Amino acid sequence: MTRLLLHVEGQTEEIFVNEVLAPHLYSVNYSSVSARIVGNARQRDRRGGIVPWPTVRKGILNHLRQDSSCMVSTMVDYYGLPRSGADLWPGRSEAASGIISDRARTVEEALLSDVRNHMGAGFNPARFVPYVMMHEFEAMLFSDCVGFSRGIGHPRLASQFQSIRDAFDSPEEIDDSPLTAPSSRIGALVPFYDKPLMGALGVLEIGLSTVRRECPHFRGWLERLESNRHSRAADSLIDSG
């Protein structure tokens, strides 16, 4: 049986893992799925964003070393990842100049490479499946604009949300400037938008299958978790034999 621990950016992602993602992964025979919010409030900027990679990496390495049967993943916004200085997240600077469809993958590959280097030659890379959200969690809320608007109690905004969504090939391509990031677009229509509350209500109303269908990068991550669970189970059988 495989245990999965996700290092997540905040309370909204924690709720998503516990209420939406975990039930699905239990259905494909994960034995435990849990979320851990990285860092603490004093380490985050005003966006409630991510902490330095060395801090997050320390927690990831500790879990991988302490429990050889566990898998570890991340769920963090591409938008807020530091791209320079001591707080740098691997791959973030290089990703900025790439095409949208490659940006998150560039960071994820760099994170995996860094963790592999620290874990050493005997490490099974299937145990670490990093996920970087494009461009941030709120993009998933545009997977179903009717469901999102209904979930947050503003059903009349559905058409305005849909107009934003229709300008992009997928919700994950809604861009990441301070004025046009998904959260900024939502905030412009919902002045008192509360991410932990409304983000959670919205995604609970939308559901995993819709997010999976509409967000290709998210879908790829979920498929890796599903397939890696079976790979880890096979490894356990070999080890026990």
Is the peptide bond prior to 118 cis by the omega test (within 30 degrees of 0)? no
Q: From residue 122, how far is each of 125, 150, 236 by CA, in Å?
A: 9, 49, 15
The pLDDT confidence band at residue 76, using thresholds 50, 70 and 90, is: very high
pLDDT > 90 in the chain, percent: 77
The pLDDT confidence band at residue 86, using thresholds 50, 70 and 90, is: confident
Q: At 72, phi and psi to the nearest 5?
A: -130, 140
The rounded distance, in Å, linking the Cα atoms of 97 and 95 is: 5
Domains defined along the chain, listed by start: 2-135+215-240 (3.40.980), 137-212 (no CATH)
pTM of the predicted model, to two decimals? 0.90
8-state DSSP, 188: H
The rounded distance, in Å, linking the Cα atoms of 112 and 88 is: 15
pLDDT of residue 3: 93
The pLDDT confidence band at residue 40, using thresholds 50, 70 and 90, is: low
Mean of the pLDDT values across residues 89-100?
93
Mean of the pLDDT values across residues 3-10?
95
Tens of pLDDT, residues 23-35: 999 999 999 999 9
Q: Please say if the pLDDT value at position 230 is more than 70.
A: no
Q: Please say if the pLDDT value at position 238 is more than 60.
A: no
| Among 40-44, 114-118, 145-149, the least confident range | 40-44
Provide the residue type at 118 as one letter: H
Q: Determine how many CB atoms are found less than 10 A away from the CB of residue 24.
A: 16
Tens of pLDDT, residues 179-218: 899 999 999 999 889 989 999 999 999 999 999 999 999 9
The pLDDT confidence band at residue 42, using thresholds 50, 70 and 90, is: very low
Question: Three-state SS for 61?
Answer: helix
Residues 6+ apart with CB under 8 A from 145: 158, 159, 161, 162, 165
The whole-angstrom distance between residue 36's C-alpha and the CA centroid of its chain comes to 12
pLDDT of residue 233: 46
Residues 6+ apart with CB under 8 A from 88: 52, 53, 82
pLDDT of residue 50: 76
Give the chain's mean pLDDT.
90
